[in-house]
Amino acid sequence: MAMAADEIERLIAAALPGAVVTIRDLAGDGDHYAAHVVAPQFTGQSRVQQHKLVYAALGGRMGGELHALQVTTEVPT
Amino acid sequence: MSDVNSRISEIVNAHDVVLFMKGTPLFPQCGFSSRAIAILDHLGVAYDSVDVLQDMEIRQGIKEFSDWPTIPQLYVKGEFVGGSDIMMEMYEAGELQQMMQDKAVARAEA
């Protein structure tokens, strides 16, 4: 079952207060998304740790119902 | 350490660059695996791959081994680098090329 873009955005924003989340629907099919996350919590974290914070925010959906979510992370400047 | 963990551990230590992927470099079975292979080919480094679709034990085991929920997964010199998103971010920033140089990874044979 696919997830709505605003649900993805809500989960990430809830787990990472202050984060700016941008979701793009890549294929227009409500199933292939790219999420760009800029979050103060990323400061000083490796790329792997940054992505793990986003995956944790999605509560185990990554690789399951969210099999086609591209994630990019950025430390706020 | 469980059997699957020691199997994975042997694989990542036996190959300088190894990609756990769906399908094979010639016939990737998923867009993310395809993207990871394209990046490795662009880098021109020698690499090995493991098709997790042919091995259910590794398909599940690698997610726990790396504490990472998705496939593909790249290991360089025994160290987990990330999935295809991180590979792309690092490639675009020039970091992946630098890492391969720093770790003295062999070039692919032309």
The predicted-structure confidence for B54-109, as pLDDT tens digits, reads as follows: 999 999 999 999 999 999 999 999 999 999 999 999 999 999 999 999 999 999 98
Alpha carbon dihedral B91, A75, B71, B106, in 10-degree steps, equals: 30
* Nearest residue in A to B67, CA atom: A52
DSSP character for B105?
P
* Nearest residue in A to B60, CA atom: A63
Whether residue B30 is predicted with pLDDT greater than 70 in this model: the reply is yes
The per-residue pLDDT for range A27-60, each reduced to its tens digit, is 877 778 999 999 999 999 999 999 999 999 999 8
Whether residue B2 is predicted with pLDDT greater than 90 in this model: the reply is no
Which of A52, A60, A71 is opposite residue B85, by nearest beta carbon?
Answer: A71
Going along chain B from its start, the domains and CATH numbers come out as 3-102 (3.40.30.10)
Which of B70, B71, B90 is opposite residue A47, by nearest beta carbon?
Answer: B90
Cβ pairs bridging A and B (under 8 Å): 32
Summarize the confidence of residues B13-29 as an average pLDDT: 97
List beta partners, residue B18.
B48, B75
Which of A47, A63, A73 is opposite residue B69, by nearest beta carbon?
Answer: A63
Whether residue B25 is predicted with pLDDT greater than 70 in this model: the reply is yes
Tokens describing residue A60: 């185990």
Yes or no: say if B50 and B21 are a contact pair by the CB < 8 Å rule: yes
Whether residue B1 is predicted with pLDDT greater than 70 in this model: the reply is no
- A5-74: CATH topology is GMP Synthetase; Chain A, domain 3 (3.30.300)
